Structure 1
Amino acid sequence: MSGFIQYLAFAHVARHRSFAQAGRELALAASTVAKRIGRLERQLGVRLFHRTTRQVTLTSDGEVLYARCEKLLADIDELENLAGGAAGEARGELRINVPITYGKRVVIPVLADLLQRHPGLTADVRLSDQLCDPIRDGLDAAIRIMPLADSRLASRRIGWQHLALCGSPDYLARHGTPRHPSQLSRHSFVVFRRPTSGRERPLQFAIAGRQEDLHPPYRMLVDDGEGMVAAACHGSGLIQVPSYMVSRELAAGTLVELLPSFRPPPLPINLIWPGNRLMPARLRVLIDALAALPETA
C-alpha cells in the first residue's frame, strides 16, 4: 500500500504542477508530499520532476509515468462511484481545456449550472487556444473546433462553428455595405493572427459552390477574437469571426452581419476525452449538458 500512496502523491503533483496543491487535495503537508516523491524517485532510479523556486515540471520519465498513473486514477475514481452506489451523481474535479472565447461565452455558463446542480462537483477550467493532449495533460476532456484524427480519443459533436463577416453601423455608413466578396477590396479589415504560426488567417467565403480564401491587407492585426470584436465595434474595420463571438453584438445592433449567403462551410465543435478509460459521472453530465445546447447560427 505504501507504494501506491507514493504513486498517488506523484500523480497529484504532476496534475497540478504543485506540491502545495497536491498536499491540499491529499490533506497532507507539502513537505510530506515531497518526501513521498523523493522515495519514489529513489525506488525507480529516475528523476520525475524538475524543481525550481517558481515552478515544477515533469521530466521525460515523469511524463511517461504520469500517462500511466492518470488512467489508473481515473478508473479508481469511477470504481469508487460505482461502489458507493452513486454512479449517477457527479462529483470530484472536472478538468477541461477549452478555447478562450468559446469557453467564456458557451462553456462557463454550462459549468456554472452543473456546479449548482451537483454540490460534490468542482471544475478546473483551462482557457487556451493552444491544442492540448487530454491524455498527456491529465484532463477529463477538451474542446476542439476541427475535424478529428486521433484514434486514442473518443468524441461527440456538440455544435458547429459558423464564420460571420461583420462591421459596425458607423463603419458601414462611412464606407458602404458590400454586396459581394468581390467588393471587399475597398474595405479595411481587422484580421486575426494565428497564435501558433503568427500568420494572418485569411477570410473564407463560399463562392459559386467552392470555398475561396481572401488575403486582404489589414488595418489592424489582433491575436484575440474578443479584441477583434471590440475593434470592429469601434469602427476600425470589418471582421470575420465565429458567430458565437458576436451573438450579443448582433442582437444589440452594435455589429451587423454582412454577406451571410457567402458563409463558408462550418467546422464541427467536438468534445474529446481519453477513449480507453471508464467514463466518470462528472464527465457524463458535462457531455449531456453540452450536447443539449441549441445549435448556434
Structure 2
Amino acid sequence: MAGLQAFLAFVETVKRGSFAAAARSLGLSASTVAKSVARLEADLGLRLFHRSTRQVVLTTEGEELYQRCSRIADEIEALHDEAAGARARPSGTLRLSAPVVLGRQRVVPALAELRRRHPQLGVELELADRQVDVLADRLDGALRVGPLADSALAARRVGEHHIVTVAAPAYLARRGTPGTPEELAPHDCLLFRSPSSGRTRPWAFAGGVTATLGDAATLAINDGEALVAAACAGMGLAQVPDYMVAEAIARGALVEVLADRRPPPLPISLVYPSARQPPPRLRAFIELLCGPMAPVVN
C-alpha cells in the first residue's frame, strides 16, 4: 500500500507542474518523486498524469484525487511550518487573486512590502474581476468586495470599498454641479459595463437610492481605469471606487460631487479555505493588511 510520502510527492507534483520541480521542493531526486507517483498509480490502479518530456498534466482521476488529498497535505505543511518556527518566517509561494484595479493599485504595492519583509517568500497574483474558485484554483486566498456567500471559505475583513461620484472641474464649470441624484438627468454620465455580464452598473446613493441613467449615459466602458481617464478628460461624471481616483483628486484633475449622498461602504474581505488555519505565508499577508500600515485597502 502506498505510504504518505507517495501522496505528498503526488500533491507537490501537481502544485509544481513537473517531477523535477516537485523534487526540488521536497529535497529529493526527480527519479525518486517519479517512482513514488508511479507506485501510487500502481497501488490505486489509476493513471494520475498524462506525461510528456516537459510537463505532467492531471487526468480526470488525478484531479479528483488531488482535490481530496491536497487539504491533508496543506495541514501537514502547516504543522511542519509551525513546528519549525516558520510562523515568524513565512516560506513557499503565496497564491492570491484580486479584482483588477484593486490589485494593480493596492495589492501589488502591498506585496512589494511583503517581499521586502520576507524576501524568501514567492508570490503568484491573479488579477480578475470574475469571482474565482479559491479551492479549485488552489489559491491561498482571494480579495473580494461586497457581501460574501461562500460558506466553504473563511473570511477576514481587511478594509472598505467606498463609492464616489466625480467629475473634472472643467466639466462642472461648463455644465454645473448636481446637488442631488435627481439633478443628474441633464448631465453626461459615464457608466461602467461589466465585462462578464455585459450590463452597465447602476449608480448607488445613500438611502438605497439607485439610478440606472439610461437616458443620461453618454459613454459606457468595460475598464475602470479608462472610465477614470474619460472623467479626467471632461467627458462627464463617473461613479467609481475611491481608490481609483485618489491620485486624480489629490492633483485636482477630479473633484467629488454628491459627497453627502455617498452610499454605505462595501466590505473588502480576504477569503481562504476554512478547513485549516491560514499557512504562515497567508498570515503574514493578513497581518500586513490589518496592521498599523494597512497599505492595501484603507
Bin for the TM-score computed over the shorter chain: 0.7 to 0.9
2:153 aligned with 1:153:
yes
1:233–1:254 contact (8 Å) kept in structure 2: yes
2: CA distance, partners of 1:179 / 1:56: 61
TM-score by length of 2: 0.84
Q: Deviations over 1:215-248 (max 9, x none)?
A: 3343222222112111211222221111111111
Aligned twin of 2:244: 245
Q: Tell me the CA shift for residue 180 of structure 1.
A: 1.3
2: CA distance, partners of 1:242 / 1:261: 16
Q: Tell me the CA shift for residue 62 of structure 1.
A: 3.5
Aligned twin of 1:72: 72
Aligned AA for 2:247?
A: R
2:224 aligned with 1:225:
yes
- Which range moves more in the overlay, 171-180 or 21-30? 21-30
Q: Deviations over 1:35-81 (max 9, x none)?
A: 87666556544454678999986554343322223212322222222
Aligned twin of 2:101: 101
Aligned AA for 1:165?
A: T
Aligned twin of 2:262: 263
Q: Tell me the CA shift for residue 254 of structure 1.
A: 0.8
Aligned AA for 2:87?
A: A
1:98–1:129 contact (8 Å) kept in structure 2: yes
Aligned AA for 1:82?
A: E
Aligned twin of 1:283: 282
- Structure 2 vs 1, CA of residues 26 and 83 (structure 1 numbering), >3 Å: closer, same or farther? closer
Aligned twin of 1:113: 113
2:134–2:140 contact (8 Å) kept in structure 1: yes
Aligned AA for 1:254?
A: A
What secondary structure, in the 3-state scheme, does the structure 2 residue paired with 1:219 have? strand
Q: Tell me the CA shift for residue 93 of structure 1.
A: 1.0
**Mapping for residues 46-85 of structure 1, pairs under 5 Å:** 46=46, 48=48, 58=58, 60-85=60-85
Aligned twin of 2:165: 165
1:121–1:282 contact (8 Å) kept in structure 2: yes
Q: Deviations over 1:108-156 (max 9, x none)?
A: 1111111111132111111111111222211111111121222221111
What secondary structure, in the 3-state scheme, does the structure 2 residue paired with 1:82 have? helix
1:49–1:59 contact (8 Å) kept in structure 2: yes
1: CA distance, partners of 2:151 / 2:127: 24
Q: Tell me the CA shift for residue 273 of structure 1.
A: 0.9
1:99–1:127 contact (8 Å) kept in structure 2: yes
RMSD of aligned residue pairs (Cα, Å)? 3.2
Unaligned runs of 5+ in 1: none
- Structure 2 vs 1, CA of residues 175 and 92 (structure 1 numbering), >3 Å: closer, same or farther? same
Aligned twin of 2:210: 212
- Which range moves more in the overlay, 236-245 or 46-55? 46-55
2: CA distance, partners of 1:141 / 1:68: 19
Aligned residues: 295
2: CA distance, partners of 1:33 / 1:197: 44
Aligned AA for 2:149?
A: A
Aligned twin of 1:11: 11
1: CA distance, partners of 2:297 / 2:125: 22
- Structure 2 vs 1, CA of residues 31 and 128 (structure 1 numbering), >3 Å: closer, same or farther? farther
- Structure 2 vs 1, CA of residues 216 and 278 (structure 1 numbering), >3 Å: closer, same or farther? same
Aligned AA for 2:283?
A: R
1:189–1:216 contact (8 Å) kept in structure 2: no
2:47–2:59 contact (8 Å) kept in structure 1: yes
2: CA distance, partners of 1:77 / 1:123: 17
1: CA distance, partners of 2:148 / 2:130: 15
Q: Tell me the CA shift for residue 20 of structure 1.
A: 7.6
What secondary structure, in the 3-state scheme, does the structure 2 residue paired with 1:95 have? strand
Q: Tell me the CA shift for residue 262 of structure 1.
A: 1.1
- Structure 2 vs 1, CA of residues 41 and 125 (structure 1 numbering), >3 Å: closer, same or farther? same
- Structure 2 vs 1, CA of residues 69 and 167 (structure 1 numbering), >3 Å: closer, same or farther? same
Aligned AA for 1:215?
A: L
- Structure 2 vs 1, CA of residues 170 and 151 (structure 1 numbering), >3 Å: closer, same or farther? same
